[in-house]
Amino acid sequence: MDIFGKAAGKQEPSSKSIAKERLRLVLVHDRASISPQLLENLKEDLLKVISSYMEIDELGTEVTLNSNESSVALIASIPVIKINRI
């Protein structure tokens, strides 16, 4: 994905777009680590929605933000116990 908004050709991304992208990433981390509460709320909401489709192990559920140098992903691990027949 062209996250730096590079124009056609081999132009270097402007230092401003590099700054903006780095800032965006750093703030995802900052904001997430400042509010574990946010992840906890998200987890509860997820459980609510999913449990109307299948039986899940609420205690075994984990919701985390996983990050590497260039991206941040929301990872949810939700053990399924039983799927309801439709």
Partner 1 sequence: MGEVFVITSGKGGVGKTTTSANIGTGLASIGKTVVMVDTDIGLRNLDVVMGLENRIVYDLVDVTQGNCRLKQALIKDKRFEGLCLLPAAQTKDKSAVMPEQMKDLCLNLKNEFDYVIIDCPAGIEGGFKNATAGADKAIVVTTPEIAAVRDADRIIGLLEAAELRNPTLIINRLRPDMVKKGDMMDIDDIIDILAIKLLGVIPEDEAIVISTNRGEPVALDMNSSAGQAYRNIAKRLTGEDIPLISWEAEEGILGKLKKIFGFKE
- Smallest distance from partner 1 to CB 22, Å: 6
Binding interface with partner 1 (CB under 8 A): 14-17, 19-20, 22-24, 26-27, 30-31, 34
**Closest CB to partner 1 among residues 4, 78:** 4
Angle (CA) 32 76 42, round 5°:
50
Q: Please, which residue, 26 or 83, has the CB nearer to partner 1?
A: 26
Residue closest to 53 by CA, chosen among 15, 84, 28, 13: 84
- If the CB atoms of residues 23 and 74 are measured against partner 1, the closer one turns out to be 23
Q: Tokens 């590099």 label which residue?
A: 18
Dihedral sign for Cα 49, 25, 31, 63, please: positive
Q: Could you tell me the smallest distance in angstroms from the CB atom of residue 10 to partner 1?
A: 16
What lies within 8 Å, CB to CB, of 58 at 6+ separation is 47, 51
Q: How far is the CB of 15 from partner 1 (least distance, A)?
A: 5
